[in-house]
Amino acid sequence: MNLSSKGDYATRVLLELSMNQWPHALSVHQLADRTGISPKYLEQIMLRLRAADVVRSRRGVQGGYELARGPDQLTVGEVVRLMDGPLAPSPCASRSAHVPCPLYRCPTEESCVLRGLWLEVRDAISGVLDRTTFAELAERQRAARAQARLMYCI
Amino acid sequence: MNLSSKGDYATRVLLELSMNQWPHALSVHQLADRTGISPKYLEQIMLRLRAADVVRSRRGVQGGYELARGPDQLTVGEVVRLMDGPLAPSPCASRSAHVPCPLYRCPTEESCVLRGLWLEVRDAISGVLDRTTFAELAERQRAARAQARLMYCI
DNA sequence: CTAATCCCTATCAGTTAGCTAGGGATTATC
DNA sequence: GATAATCCCTAGCTAACTGATAGGGATTAG
């Protein structure tokens, strides 16, 4: 049930972009510095995010990436699906990319209790990721930082 | 977020064992026939389930595997963790096998909002899998089969 | 013009997934 | 006590995937 490093890194970078006043571009170099991700690897991730219209780019000096929409219009679920595929633990339980079970002894999908369970899991994951936007995450991060600053001053 | 085939197959086989009156042993051969899984591959899965005290075995003619406890004492969560590792999408959010984040630019764990989100996901998955026992699944399957039989008779 | 940046594709080493194979140990049955 | 069915254990193998690294072209602000 592990997230890949691509999904992990993409969410980190998008949170970083969401923390800035939108729209405001950051270069791959800057993003890599802030997150500790290998720049060339991050570049590929950004290209995929751009192809999916999650971010948009400006080339040349002073170029970089910025969110293609407001962070309140971007959910973590969308990003994770983009980088890691469907949320469901089994292809037969995916709503976005359904693939039937290959085992010939599997019961019909409607009557398969395991598929029913994987659907429950899928819905549970989606319940968290599809309702969490990057605006929400950025808000939480600001709150956490304010909290930390407070702790430090006392 | 995909389940491996080991996790998939293990749950299928354990559901099969749970459908029988416990305790009642089935051989790998029988289990493979009923599920359509490759017998030699299934053998390895059964060995792991045995090492974890989920099933117990009898060797020799008329031997086989049976549940080591009643199906009401075995959750899907335990089995999935056994075959596929922690439920959490990120090692830093695992409660059963916590591993800190390797990125040096990651904030402290307490303040990391992404970790907070992965914890939410972990809890959502665990909420489904740790409360579902194989007794429950077997019950559902019996109900589904009764339903199907009814449909057929009409 | 130049340096910074995005864009694109190829490559590559290591790991993992999903099996397959073979042979030893045990045991019910005849 | 021979036989056949079964579990037990370890090794190996191929294809795909992961997580990068590399290099060079296109674009653009200054």
pLDDT value of residue B116? 97
Residue B46 CA to residue B29 CA, distance in Å, equals: 12
Would the pLDDT of A20 be above 90?
A: no
With cut-offs at 50, 70 and 90, classify the pLDDT of residue B150: confident
Pick the residue from chain B with its C-alpha nearest to A112.
Answer: B141
Lowest mean pLDDT of A4-8, A102-106, B120-124, name the range: A102-106
The pLDDT, as a whole number, for residue B22 is 67
Taking the CA of residue A64 and the C1' sugar atom of nucleotide C5, their distance in angstroms comes to 7
What pLDDT, on the 0 to 100 scale, is given for residue A150? 80
Interface contact A104-B148, CB threshold 8 A:
no
Residue of A nearest to B106 (CA): A35
Predicted confidence (pLDDT) per residue in B19-66, tens digit: 987 668 999 999 999 999 999 999 999 999 999 999 999 999 999 999
**Predicted pLDDT at A138:** 97
Q: Residue B154's pLDDT is what?
A: 60
List chain C nucleotides near protein: any atom < 7 Å from a Cβ.
Answer: 3-10, 17-22, 25-29
% residues pLDDT > 90 (chain A):
82
**Strand D positions closer than 7 A to protein CB:** 4-11, 18-23, 26-30
**Rounded CA separation A97/B112 (Å):** 31
Ordered structural domains, chain B, with CATH: 5-150 (1.10.10.10)
Query: Measured between CB atoms, does A47 come within 8 Å of chain B?
Result: no
Report the Cα A52 to chain-centroid distance in Å: 12
Comparing B122 with A20, which gets the higher pLDDT? Answer: B122
Cβ-based contacts under 8 A for chains A and B: 114
Nearest CA distance, A49 vs chain B (angstrom): 18
Higher per-residue confidence, A1 vs B79: B79
Nearest alpha carbon to residue A46 among A6, A76, A2, A5? A6
Using a CB–CB cutoff of 8 Å, tell me whether B37 touches chain A: yes
Average pLDDT, chain A: 94
Q: Which nucleotide is nearest to B58 (CA to C1')?
A: D7
The yes-or-no verdict on residue A102 having pLDDT over 80 is: yes
Percent of residues, chain A, with pLDDT higher than 70:
97
pLDDT at B13 over 70: yes
Tokens of A143: 């709150």
Q: Which residues of A are less than 8 Å from B121 in CB distance?
A: 125, 128-129
CA B138 distance to own-chain centroid: 13
pLDDT at A99 over 80: yes
Residue B89 contacts A where some CB pair is shorter than 8 Å: yes
Query: Where does residue B151 rank: exposed (0-12), middle (13-18), buried (19+ CB within 10 A)?
Result: exposed
Residue-level pLDDT at B148? 81
Q: Is the pLDDT of residue B95 over 70?
A: yes
pLDDT in tens, B113-149: 999 999 999 999 999 999 999 999 999 999 998 988 7
Chain B within 8 Å of A3 (Cβ-Cβ)?
yes
Whether residue A124 lies within 8 A of chain B, CB to CB, comes out as yes
Cα B44 versus chain centre, distance: 15
Instruction: Say yes or no to pLDDT of A154 above 70.
Output: no
Residues of B in contact with A111 (CB under 8 A): 144-145, 147-148
Which of A26, A27, A128, A18 minimizes the C-alpha distance to A69?
A18
Residue B76: pLDDT over 90: yes
Tens of pLDDT, residues A110-140: 889 999 999 999 999 999 999 999 999 999 9
Closest among A88, A82, A23, A8 to A52, alpha carbons compared: A82
Query: Which residue of chain B comes nearest to A136, CA vs CA?
Result: B113
| Chain B residues with beta carbon closer than 8 angstroms to that of A83 | none
Check if residue A60 sits with its Cβ under 7 angstroms from strand C: yes
Between residues A106 and A70, which one has the greater pLDDT?
A70
Which nucleotide does the CA of B4 lie closest to, via C1'?
C17
Chain B from 49 to 68: CB within 8 A of any A CB: none
What is the rounded distance in angstroms from the CA atom of residue B108 to the CA atom of residue B128? 29
Whether the pLDDT of residue B99 is over 90: the answer is: yes
Reply yes or no on whether the pLDDT at B153 is more than 80: no
